[in-house]
Structure 1
Amino acid sequence: MPLNLSANTIQEALDRADSRHWTRTPPHSIPARLTYLLKQNRHDTAALAYRLQTTPADLDALRTAARTSQDHPLHQAVEREVIRLWQPRVRRQAHDAILANGGQMMLSFRAWLGFTAAAGTSDDPRLRFLTLTLNTPYPELLFTAQHNGTPEAGLRDILSDALGACYFHRGRPAHLQEKVSLDRIDYLEFYY
């Protein structure tokens, strides 16, 4: 379904990484995707429209349109929602298998990353492009937060802590006051 497996939010990047483990292909056409999403929302068009940040009339227009551009924001929102909801059991089985086999995941990203320590010292945020391995317990924390519907800010806190442990400290114990800041994500992709 998606050719682009990168994202600019942590939730979407996790969902797109999960899509590599699907056993069936999700619906391709907009009407089929909307039918699937409506079924997941108990056929409540208003609830689905709210979730996609649009109106029920816009959803009906999208469903009946002959063709829509892949770049249309509503088209992209529908695709993201299908990716988020497709095959939840397969997703959980993949997560369990990953955690049972050492719990590692790769992360590739480009974002503004900085470091703040006690006594006001800091490495001011700057644009960095990195590929790192996230070790235990961070994959499990990210999966648990994803399953619990943790908002993006909570996922960002977990990933910031993981980056601090994996990049800045590289196995050395961190001081309690040190904090990594992860801002303005341009590109983010998980591999597991």
Structure 2
Amino acid sequence: MVDSLGDSLDRALEKAFTRPAPKSAQAQMKYLVKQLKGTKAAAQTLGISQRTVERYVTGKLKRPRPELRVRLEREVKKRWQPQIRAKAKQKAATTNGLVVSTRARFGFEAAAGTTDDARIRDITQALPPEYADQLFTAREQGATETQLRQIAADGLARMYFRAANTRAHGLDVEFTDVERLDIEL
């Protein structure tokens, strides 16, 4: 399965971390309990009992089931180093932008009579800060994967296919069948 654009944004932000997130289940659980201000809130977030959370915190339980391990890791990373994460977002949204590297099917809607059939392309393209800002804002507001991909498609259309809007005016890009998708800040 291909990662979603949202997952790629999260991974890009994780590269900005200055310290590694806790690795053991006990350390992760302790961190989550501290962040959520209690075992009850941690239990609700993870979908397990409060007693199970307490057992992980005290070290009586050490190895979570695979699905709990994934949820625990995701919840910890989501909350890890929020100031570093915010600075990385701010920098991407105001000065640096981001780089999208993808292998996907791109098709076009253009003037009648053109032969712009969809085909698989490998593209690595820097997008300006406004697209980083749009992607992060949409992600925070709960945008769907389709909406995030449309923002990325608009950015790729402008910068790659229309050469910073210097040619191919009116060309709309369709971004489908994603095989690989990586984002770098």
TM-score bucket of the superposed structures, by smaller chain: 0.7 to 0.9
Name the SS for the 1:44 alignment partner: helix
The code of the aligned residue for 2:18 comes to T
TM-score, reference length from structure 1? 0.71
Offset of residue 77 of structure 1: 3.8
The whole-number CA distance in structure 2 between the counterparts of 1:75 and 1:185 is 27
The runs of 5 or more residues in structure 1 that have no matched partner are 1-6, 50-54
Aligned equivalent of 1:110: 103
Offset of residue 18 of structure 1: 0.8
Offset of residue 36 of structure 1: 3.2
Aligned equivalent of 1:3: none
Percent of aligned pairs sharing the same letter: 34
Aligned equivalent of 1:20: 15
The whole-number CA distance in structure 2 between the counterparts of 1:141 and 1:30 is 35
Label 1:35 to 1:156 Cα distance change in 2 as closer, same or farther (>3 A).
Answer: farther
The 5 A counterparts of 1:34-183 are: 34-41=29-36, 43-45=40-42, 47-49=44-46, 55-56=47-48, 60=52, 63=56, 66-67=62-63, 72-100=66-94, 102-117=95-110, 119=112, 123-171=116-164, 172=166, 175-176=169-170, 178-183=171-176
C-alpha contact 1:41 1:47 (8 A) present in aligned 2:
no
Offset of residue 186 of structure 1: 2.8
The whole-number CA distance in structure 2 between the counterparts of 1:189 and 1:46 is 32
Name the SS for the 1:185 alignment partner: strand
Q: How many residues align?
A: 176
C-alpha contact 2:108 2:174 (8 A) present in aligned 1:
yes
- Over the residues paired in the alignment, what is the CA RMSD in angstroms? 3.3
Offset of residue 28 of structure 1: 0.6
1:160-179: CA deviation from partner (whole Å, max 9, x where unpaired): 11111122211226655x43
Label 1:65 to 1:138 Cα distance change in 2 as closer, same or farther (>3 A).
Answer: same
Label 1:30 to 1:144 Cα distance change in 2 as closer, same or farther (>3 A).
Answer: same
Aligned equivalent of 2:28: 33
The runs of 5 or more residues in structure 2 that have no matched partner are none
The whole-number CA distance in structure 2 between the counterparts of 1:131 and 1:37 is 36
Offset of residue 92 of structure 1: 1.2
